């Protein structure tokens, strides 16, 4: 009864999560649908990011709210990873994407772009005291960092002799300059201003390189919304509100002023930029200050931990059930099912889990199957680990001597009864240790569900690290939480192993004696009679 209640509780928890997530899509003001916008908010200052108190802010955040106000709609934020932003448009996760996406011919072939809402350039950053560079050709023979799929990378690829080192996070790139791993970093001016300029060990080097424009991305089939947003952007620019937003964030430059045909001087002090520097770039924080700083993130860590547990438990439950079925079919099933189960196992084990997750979440909508992120995460983990569990169970089944099944059938059992009462219980004891090990592995692999817009413990770690500029301390904290989550399951598995061990059974049977299952004993008969 306890197990049934636990299963019911887990199912209710999953359904509650799905319903809660789905409830976000309610109508906005005046009965208008919400304006759903997507962005990657980890390490994304000053675009859209989580600031102190885990509150969403940024100049793009303010621009979207200004646009939504002009349109008479309520903005609704949907988080996604950088690589999943454009695929999320086709999947219908949101109506548009605003995340510092540069308008280029290659990207314009994939999505619609709004009118530019910001114009900027690439800024090169080096260690303090580095000789001044005059051109990109001066970087020949140097190791230079940048972000994947950016105009900066395309620019560097045209320079012969430059060793390009791509990064996923801006912070790591600039830290590698300080650590002496690379010569410099070429990235957009807003990124350099917020992540490099406040660092006393770094400096801007060289002139502005190139010119890039940011636009809001839409699905190719959403021309009407794109036109409506364009009109709203024009009104926000004409009213001076765009200038005010960019000025507060320290991003109003002569280049953007010329593009918008407005005065070159900022309209107000760069208060948001100063607040960011004050709260994020305190390079002499004490250990106690850092520890106290982590305390504000406990709701985020709790949410991430619960998501990690939820996905892991449901995923492992699916893996065990499906893996056991595959093992039975492969060992005892008819040959067509043996072949099919073998093919499934080899395909799943031979392809990366991340690719499988992306196919389930972003690929299946192409054939009309759209899964909730939680369902997609559980399904991806469960289907992947089922292949490994199937091999564990197959090894356990084959480890049981054939004489056990023959003896069971000689006593009048059917083949199914022999499996149920004799072979499977013994094989289960054999496979319990590797199954436990697989669960711990699945618990850690659940970090990949962040690729399907779920905020798990690893996603929480990325957010904390990019807000505090501290990957070391926050990493130790999250690693400790993973360890604490996994330890109870390890202890539970060890208890189950000791309880089910042959020499600890409560029946009092001597080793080697065969015990008839209860349904096949005659009334009043005991073992050994």
Of 348, 347, 329, the closest CA to residue 339 belongs to 329
Domain of 259, in residue numbers: 25-116+215-284
Q: Is residue 430 part of a domain?
A: yes
For residue 204, the domain's CATH number is: 3.40.190.10
* 3-class DSSP state of 155: helix
Mean pLDDT calculated for residue range 178-184 = 93
Do residues 164 and 241 make contact, with C-beta atoms less than 8 angstroms apart?
no
Q: Is the pLDDT of residue 19 over 60?
A: no
Q: Is residue 513 part of a domain?
A: no
Q: Is residue 515 part of a domain?
A: no
Do residues 89 and 111 make contact, with C-beta atoms less than 8 angstroms apart?
yes
- The per-residue pLDDT of the chain, averaged, comes to 83
Q: Is residue 18 part of a domain?
A: no
What is the Cα–Cα distance from 93 to 319, expressed in whole angstroms? 28
pLDDT tens per residue across span 288-311:
666 666 777 788 888 889 999 999
What is the Cα–Cα distance from 151 to 157, expressed in whole angstroms? 10
Say if residue 350 is in the same domain as residue 456. Answer: yes
What is the Cα–Cα distance from 144 to 249, expressed in whole angstroms? 27
Say if residue 257 is in the same domain as residue 375. Answer: no
Number of compact structural domains in the chain: 3
Q: Is residue 512 part of a domain?
A: no
The H or E element containing residue 168 is none
The angle that helices 373-399 and 2-22 make with each other, rounded to 10 degrees, is 150
Say if residue 232 is in the same domain as residue 322. Answer: no
pLDDT tens per residue across span 336-361:
999 999 999 999 999 999 899 989 98
Say if residue 395 is in the same domain as residue 457. Answer: yes
What is the Cα–Cα distance from 209 to 186, expressed in whole angstroms? 9
- Which of the listed residues 185, 213, 241 is the one where a domain comes to its end? 213
pLDDT tens per residue across span 407-423:
878 888 887 787 778 87
What is the Cα–Cα distance from 45 to 58, expressed in whole angstroms? 7
Of 191, 177, 216, the closest CA to residue 63 belongs to 216
Rounded to two decimals, what is the model's pTM? 0.72
Q: How confident is the model at residue 31 (pLDDT cuts 50, 70, 90)?
A: low
List of E strands, 288-352: none
pLDDT tens per residue across span 498-517:
776 655 444 444 444 444 44
Q: Give the pairing type, strands 184-188 and 118-127.
A: antiparallel
What is the reported pLDDT for 512?
44
What is the Cα–Cα distance from 219 to 150, expressed in whole angstroms? 20
User: And the tokens for 443?
Assistant: 């618990």
Residue that wins the pLDDT comparison between 12 and 402: 402
Q: Is residue 514 part of a domain?
A: no
What is the reported pLDDT for 239?
95
For residue 380, the domain's CATH number is: 1.10.3720.10
Residue that wins the pLDDT comparison between 9 and 87: 87
What is the reported pLDDT for 51?
80
- Which of the listed residues 262, 284, 306 is the one where a domain comes to its end? 284
What is the Cα–Cα distance from 111 to 86, expressed in whole angstroms? 8
289-293: which pairs have CB atoms within 8 A and are 24 or more residues apart? 290/468, 290/470, 290/473, 291/473, 293/468
pLDDT tens per residue across span 204-255:
998 999 999 999 999 999 999 999 999 999 999 999 999 999 999 999 999 9
pLDDT tens per residue across span 41-63:
876 889 999 887 778 999 999 99
Residue that wins the pLDDT comparison between 518 and 394: 394
Q: Is residue 520 part of a domain?
A: no
Q: Is residue 428 part of a domain?
A: yes
What is the Cα–Cα distance from 230 to 238, expressed in whole angstroms? 12
Say if residue 54 is in the same domain as residue 182. Answer: no
What is the reported pLDDT for 24?
41
- Which of the listed residues 213, 237, 255 is the one where a domain comes to its end? 213
């Amino acid at each position: 009864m306890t197990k049934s209640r636990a299963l019911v509780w887990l199912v209710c928890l999953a359904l509650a999560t799905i319903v809660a997530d789905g409830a976000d899509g309610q109508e906005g003001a005046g009965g208008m649908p919400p304006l759903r916008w997507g962005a990657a908010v980890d390490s994304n200052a000053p675009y859209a990011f989580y600031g102190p108190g885990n509150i969403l802010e940024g100049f793009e955040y303010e621009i979207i709210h200004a646009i939504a106000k002009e349109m008479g709609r309520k903005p609704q934020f949907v988080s996604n990873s950088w690589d999943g932003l454009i695929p999320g448009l086709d999947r219908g996760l949101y109506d548009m994407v605003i995340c510092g996406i540069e308008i280029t011919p290659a990207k314009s072939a994939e999505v619609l772009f709004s009118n530019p809402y910001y114009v900027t350039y690439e800024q090169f950053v080096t260690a303090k005291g580095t000789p001044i560079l005059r051109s990109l050709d001066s970087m020949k023979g140097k190791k230079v960092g940048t972000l994947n799929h950016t105009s900066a990378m395309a620019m560097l690829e045209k320079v012969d002799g430059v060793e390009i080192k791509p990064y996923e996070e801006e912070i790591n790139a600039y830290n590698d300059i300080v650590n002496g791993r690379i010569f410099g970093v070429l990235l957009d001016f807003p990124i350099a201003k917020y992540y490099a300029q406040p660092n006393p060990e770094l400096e801007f080097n060289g002139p502005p390189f190139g010119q890039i424009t940011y636009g809001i991305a839409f699905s190719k089939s959403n021309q009407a919304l794109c036109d409506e947003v364009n009109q709203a952007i024009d009104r926000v620019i004409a009213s001076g509100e765009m200038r005010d937003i960019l000025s507060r964030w320290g991003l109003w430059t002569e280049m953007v002023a010329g593009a918008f045909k407005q005065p070159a001087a900022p309209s107000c002090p760069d208060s948001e930029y100063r607040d960011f520097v004050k709260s994020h770039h305190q390079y002499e924080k004490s250990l106690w200050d850092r520890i106290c700083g982590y305390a504000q993130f406990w709701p985020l860590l709790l949410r991430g931990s619960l998501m990690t547990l939820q996905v892991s438990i449901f995923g492992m439950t699916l893996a065990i059930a499906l893996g056991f079925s595959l093992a039975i079919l492969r060992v005892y099933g008819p040959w067509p099912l043996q072949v099919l189960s073998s093919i499934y196992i080899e395909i799943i084990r031979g392809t990366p889990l991340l690719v499988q997750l992306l196919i389930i979440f972003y690929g299946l909508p192409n054939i009309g199957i759209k899964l909730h992120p939680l369902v997609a995460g559980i399904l991806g983990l469960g289907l992947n680990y089922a292949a490994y569990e199937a091999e564990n169970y197959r090894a356990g089944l084959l480890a049981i001597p054939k004489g056990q099944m023959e003896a069971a059938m000689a006593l009048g059992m059917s083949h199914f009864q022999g499996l149920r009462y004799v072979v499977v219980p013994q094989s289960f004891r054999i496979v319990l240790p590797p199954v436990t090990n697989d669960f711990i592995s699945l618990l850690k692999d659940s970090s990949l569900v962040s690729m399907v817009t779920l905020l798990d413990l690893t996603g929480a770690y990325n957010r904390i690290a990019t807000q505090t500029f501290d990957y070391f301390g926050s990493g130790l904290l999250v690693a400790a939480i993973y360890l604490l989550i996994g330890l109870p399951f390890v202890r539970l598995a060890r208890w189950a192993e000791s309880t089910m061990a042959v020499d600890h059974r409560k029946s009092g049977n001597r080793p080697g004696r065969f015990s008839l299952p209860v349904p096949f004993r005659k009334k009043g008969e005991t073992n050994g009679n």
